[in-house]
A and B are shown apart, each in its own frame.
Chain A
């Protein structure tokens, strides 16, 4: 194939990202001029259409190119990238919907929000396809810059600014760690390409101090994005301070991008160092225990969900331990693919429950009242039954109660850990899940069994974007909880 036709063929894998970037550019170019005539619903419409176009382009990606490397080995399209990109774009759609009404209510409805959101998604998309550490870094930064800006988007709210600044400072530090790690790995392998690093690892590159330090720093950099202990402390502050729509978006997107990046990196490092698995295991256990433990003491639901995000990162890290196992015979390979598929499904389950829960908060919020504490949810089932029951459903899904998609996701991870034979992790998952049930069920208690006090908070009437997010998430949470087979096949990661 000639160079230019090769380029064109490779480019098709990036069409979804190009659609997102194109929509973003369109918003930036056109919307400032259109704003004077009427509101800002045009931005939401353009971004929604952009994400839908990206989804359509993703599904139309040719199947035979699976496992193919593109653009001189820097990108790869395989079942992992396609499945996770599907989850990413699906949550992107929910992110647009939730923003559509929430921004309006909070009176921060600017076109830039959508433009940034789409660019951030494009960055996450790049991470999913990365086959080179530098591309992974590029995607990570593009994604993160969006997060920083979106976290501070409620300009008049002091906590929003604080969240953005804290996120930016700690994020910059984490990026430095990550980049430093890339440099060290380059030092031992003379490349940033995964394939070449992998062959260097096979020759013992990770047994040198430099290689070992590089590996730890890269895991730390990605660990920051997923809020793994001890790189997690930004999470509660940012989750609480950021506008609810931005919190929902970054909760889901950061996890999707960073965990798929972590899977790719671990796939490269696996078997190269005997400290890799114990290290990941300790991170996973610490993250599970810490996240669940501290969430118990929270009274602000957004902050509680921030710690819950830490806890869920712990469960996913448990799956990462299994991802790192694949040189240990056929059972190891089975564990490996089972853990990858479980992670992608879990990311979907988490995104649905997260968007649902934040969607309920956004749906209930009004101009004067940003709903985020347990007290705000008192007697919700009596005041507004549909959103009350939906919130209960999302809490059950986050807690991993059967008949919700959260149960299926947690069960898949649990199963992968069991066939991987790691009893310590399995027991920790079980025990910390029980701890988790406490604070999720407390929300259920407040919503269903406490009686409403004070006057009815005014809320949005009619079908709003946030309401639609809640409805879609609830429907999918229940449907996939009962018939997960509708998607498990599609989200299966094969090698």
Chain B
């Protein structure tokens, strides 16, 4: 523990937070097959599932202790740098020139909160997955990857330096790829994994350039150090290595990092990978592509908020991109028929809300929505998974209906999540969404437009979620009940649903306009400037009132309008309204990406490959390799095997050196 920073009584166990799942990953990866062999299939699966789940729940307990410790400290002392090694004072990781990165965790309210969310929601989803994946061929591999994801995510949120954050950032990207294409026998899944990985790479270029800019400007990669020389410390004092931190430099860093955030958090136009990512098993969608990984961009923005508030133009772009993504994705969600696709676009839309909050300077509001969204979106995905499980793999909502009778527990919990995401008064989504919209309204000169568009998006959210509920659970069964025997899911699956339902209902109460507990908890992480940038553009009471009316109106409209549409099932005639057609076709973004990126880019690549590379460069390389090989054969001949030659060579070497030294003026 570093001096000058807070003292945590549970600090000695911080290393265990990422290391316990890491050990579990190694054990399952190396010995998973052996465990299944020795214990038999059924018992082996139970052991592996229990191990993987415990390996996330133990860090959850430690994170909870950490939050308790932080709360006991005065607000300004809530920061510590703890090496990720038991009994160590420091643990250097990369020492290169000016860079002295520690293999250590930065413990502060932001990282502690994220640890709690990642391990808490993650633990529940692990538990759910023990049921969902029970009969999968590759049970051990799934849980190994799942644990590795938790490790990477924890590195991302805990890292002491932006380099460690980057390791986690890439790690979650890798796990996302591995898990999207988990059922790799199907080419579509493999392609979806590739797509996610490649689109994320585009964002990562921005992130890497941002890191390099930070290194060149501040000469350090640490966020904070005990002596106040971390780059966030410097940026807060508007210092760099070479003088004051100008608005241009701040904007450059913020802009590059924002590109990175867009990739990971699926903001327009880099959102295209997220819906395809639903090819993975549903617990993967819930954990990675809804509750945790995709919020990494928001976490990064919040961590870097000191720099972002010094670049108002970038901040405005963040807000506008977020707002556009929110409404754009919401319209698409209205038209999809695949239950997971609707939820995927809904996630993109909700991430847009979070970015809107950050862009308004209300980073705490963005983080608040990260948390509540983690609860209800995880629940929605797990509920959808339960539905898919019960319907034996069916994902088309037009072929569902009437499931409330067959799956009462799933239905009840889904209702809670539905009400929460729609913003039903008092539920978690209500508090966080209205907070963001309130701050969005405060963005100078554009405030009211942003507020209006945001509120309309909230209305659309209510519509598409009601549509999903009606088509899935409402009306009559649109499938043959004799062929498909719908069944409620096992307890290992519905217990997490129930717990998440409770959190979706009450989870927002730590951020109400009267208490603001979460905001106050996060305040030490945020720049004091941010607290001035952000202000609410509408009175709290009015905002909450409008939010409640919009939510209830949307839910009511949906309940009135959609049962008739749902009843038609597959027989529904195609939409003619150009807006709906456009939304149904994903606003042609994917087609454009295909045309530009894959077809045109593919042509360019083919030319480069066949003409430039194979035709010319390869020939050159082959010549070099041939010459080297030839030289190698020739020089090999010098090795005769005769000792007399060896000794003569040595003597000759000494003689040459001596003559050279004499001629070269070694003697004066």
Contact = CB atoms under 8 A, between A and B. Distances in A.
Interface in B486-521: none
B57 to A, nearest CB: 26
B667 A212 contact: yes
B95 interface: yes
B643 A230 contact: no
What interface size band does chain A fall in? 35 or more
A209 B646 contact: no
B654 to A, nearest CB: 5
Interface stretch (B40-48, B106-114, B364-372, B625-633): B625-633
Nearest to B654: A220
A225 to B, nearest CB: 12
A191 B35 CA distance: 66
B635 interface: yes
A177 B654 contact: yes
B589 interface: no
Contacts of B654: 177, 216-217, 220
B575 interface: no
Interface string A259-293: 00000000000000111001100000000001001
B655 to A, nearest CB: 9
A449 B639 CA distance: 31
Contacts of A484: 93
B65 interface: no
Interface stretch (B142-150, B180-188, B342-350, B658-666): B658-666
Interface string B208-225: 000000000000000000
A283 to B, nearest CB: 8
Contact of B635 (A206, A279, A294): A294
Interface string B611-647: 0000000000000000011011101101101010111
A236 B653 contact: no
A206 B103 CA distance: 47
Given A220-B654, A275-B661, A294-B639, A208 B667 contact: yes
Contact of A488 (B85, B92, B661): B92
A173 interface: yes
B657 interface: yes
A322 to B, nearest CB: 16
B629 A296 contact: yes
B650 interface: yes
A202 interface: no
A203 B667 CA distance: 13
A69 interface: no
Most buried by A among B91, B95, B668: B95
Given A166-B646, A169-B643, A216-B661, A231 B103 contact: no
A213 interface: yes
A400 B645 CA distance: 33
Interface in B78-96: 85, 91-96
B148 to A, nearest CB: 14
B253 to A, nearest CB: 26
Given A231-B653, A293-B628, A485-B103, A212 B662 contact: yes
B35 to A, nearest CB: 16
Contacts of A206: 666
Most buried by B among A170, A173, A230, A483: A230
A250 B638 CA distance: 24
Contacts of B93: 483-485
B596 interface: no
Contacts of A278: 664
A279 B657 contact: yes
A321 B103 CA distance: 32
A234 B667 contact: no
B449 interface: no
The SS class assigned to the A binding surface is: helix
B660 A170 contact: no
Interface in A161-175: 165-166, 169-170, 173-174
B650 A177 contact: yes
Contacts of A165: 643
A213 B658 contact: yes
A226 to B, nearest CB: 13
Contacts of A174: 650
Interface in B421-456: none
Nearest to B85: A486
B643 A170 contact: yes
A297 B633 contact: yes
A489 interface: yes
A297 B629 contact: yes
Contacts of A237: 641
B392 interface: no
B652 interface: yes
Interface in A446-495: 483-486, 488-489
Interface string A200-239: 0000101111001100110010001000011101101100
A435 interface: yes
Most buried by B among A233, A237, A489: A233
A415 interface: yes
Given A212-B667, A485-B103, A489-B92, A170 B658 contact: no
Contact of B650 (A170, A209, A435): A170
A213 B661 CA distance: 9
B96 to A, nearest CB: 7
Given A169-B647, A217-B654, A293-B628, A233 B639 contact: yes
Most buried by B among A206, A212, A279, A485: A485
A170 B629 contact: no
Contacts of B594: none
B10 interface: no
Contact of B628 (A207, A217, A296, A488): A296
A279 B650 contact: no
A486 B662 CA distance: 47
B653 A273 contact: no
B650 A224 contact: yes
Contact of B646 (A170, A216, A435): A170
A237 B640 CA distance: 10
A274 B647 contact: no
A207 B97 CA distance: 36
B89 to A, nearest CB: 10
Nearest to A167: B643
A187 to B, nearest CB: 15
A415 B657 contact: no
Contacts of B37: none
A207 B667 contact: yes
B158 to A, nearest CB: 15
Contact of B667 (A209, A217, A294, A486): A209
Contacts of A169: 643, 647
Nearest to B650: A231
A169 B650 CA distance: 12
18 contacts: A166-B643, A170-B647, A170-B650, A207-B667, A212-B661, A216-B658, A216-B661, A220-B654, A230-B653, A231-B650, A233-B646, A273-B661, A279-B660, A290-B635, A293-B635, A296-B629, A415-B97, A486-B85
Interface of A: 165-166, 169-170, 173-174, 177, 204, 206-209, 212-213, 216-217, 220, 224, 229-231, 233-234, 236-237, 273-275, 278-279, 290, 293-294, 296-297, 415, 435, 483-486, 488-489
Given A169-B647, A273-B661, A485-B94, 18 more contacts: A166-B646, A204-B668, A216-B658, A220-B650, A229-B653, A237-B641, A274-B666, A275-B660, A275-B665, A293-B635, A294-B636, A415-B96, A415-B97, A483-B93, A484-B93, A485-B92, A485-B102, A486-B85
What 9 A-B pairs are tightest by C-beta distance, nearest first?
Answer: A230-B653, A485-B92, A233-B646, A275-B666, A297-B632, A296-B632, A207-B668, A275-B661, A297-B636
